[in-house]
Amino acid sequence: MRSPTRFLVSLPIAAVLFCGVASSQHHPAHQGHDHGHQDGAKAQAAHPADAFYPLDTCAISGKKLGSMGDPIIKVYDGREVRFCCGGCPKRFAKDLNKSFAALDKKIAADQGPLYPTKKSIVTGKNLPARPVEFVHGNRLVRVGSAKEKATFMEAPAKYLAALDKAVVAAQGRDYPLTTCPISGEKLGGMGAPLDRVVAGRLVRLCCKGCIKKLNKNPMAAIAKVDAARAHGGDHDHDKHEHGEHNHGEHEHEHGEHEHGGGH
């Protein structure tokens, strides 16, 4: 039976969480063994950017999401986790601390190469050779010491906003797309692009109308940004494809010319 005291304390907490989803861009990370969870796309759609599941593979099996039908979505203390099939959430929940530790390693491996700064977002000082690294929400964070981590946890939204700013500064200089990954419209054609940070990546949108679609399926946009970065930008990628096409046409025309000369 729940004690009256615990019930009374839970009311303001519920109010804070409700307001936080509406106004904050960041969620608290999981703590201890007490992980609540929700089902459904409605809960997923309301999450702030750092709570979105940032990988395209199942948290348990490692299989590509969508390979076995629509992914199963669970939410644990504000952190979204996606699974390939109905059997994986039970395996994940069997030992949440162990499961999240394994998931955090995957997130760190994914976001680490794009981490935007060599300075602590808490103190502004240079990070040591071996910084304290952890995942808050579904976001990689690096600080200089355990004491700095404790300071971060006192006001995570403040420091994650600073991390977002560092991402925009670092990735905005050579942003690989010239079009919106949601609409396909030319960036700048509808006013100044809107910058959003998801899974440690800068995503630039053409207009406010694309924010909802980004929130619904952020990984699709991230995949386009990553692909463009891997090809050196969408201009270079298009040029490469166009060049290959012209080269093929040139060979075809040249072949026809030689064939005609043979007769």
Give backbone dihedrals phi and psi of 158, rounded to 5 degrees, phi first.
-60, -45
Per-residue pLDDT at 235:
52
Q: Which residue has the higher pLDDT, 259 or 93?
A: 93
CA distance 146 to 172: 30
Residue 134 is predicted with a pLDDT of 97
Confidence of residue 36 (pLDDT cuts 50, 70, 90): low
pLDDT band at 233; cut points 50, 70, 90: confident
Say how many C-beta atoms besides its own lie within 10 A of residue 7's C-beta: 9
Q: How far lies 178's CA from each of 39, 175, 186, 210, 216, in Å?
A: 36, 8, 6, 15, 22
- Count Cβ atoms below 10 Å from residue 149 Cβ, excluding itself: 19
pTM for this model (two decimals): 0.72
CB 80 within 8 A of CB 47: yes
26 falls in which pLDDT band (50, 70, 90)? Answer: very low
Query: How many CB atoms lie under 10 A from the CB of residue 232?
Result: 13
pLDDT-wise least confident of 88-97, 174-183, 225-234: 225-234
Q: How far is Cα 74 from Cα 95, in angstroms, rounded to an integer? A: 15
123 vs 2, more confident: 123
The packing angle between helices 146-154 and 156-172, to 10°, is 100
Segment holding 165, helix H or strand E: helix 156-172
Nearest to 222, CA basis, from 98, 63, 130, 111: 111
> Distance between CA 156 and CA 141 in Å, rounded?
10
The pLDDT tens digits for 124-169 are 999 999 999 999 999 999 999 999 999 999 999 999 999 999 999 9
**Which tokens in the block code for residue 203?**
């995503």
Distances (CA, A) of 174 to 144, 180, 182: 28, 15, 19
Distance CA 197, CA 220 (A): 14
Per DSSP, 57 falls in state: B
Closest CA to 143 of 170, 211, 153: 153
Helices in 24-75 by DSSP H: which ranges?
A: 41-45
> What mean pLDDT is reported for the chain?
79
Please tell me whether residue 224 adopts helix, strand or coil conformation: helix
Domain parsing of the chain, residue ranges: 174-251
Among 1-10, 62-71, 188-197, which stretch is predicted with the lowest mean pLDDT?
Answer: 1-10
pLDDT digits (tens, 9 = 90+) for 70-89: 999 999 988 999 999 999 99
**The pair of three-digit structure tokens given for residue 216, joined into one six-digit string:** 């619904």
Q: Which of 37-41, 42-46, 47-51, 141-145 has the lowest mean pLDDT?
A: 42-46
**Residue 42's CB: how many other CB atoms inside 10 A?**
9
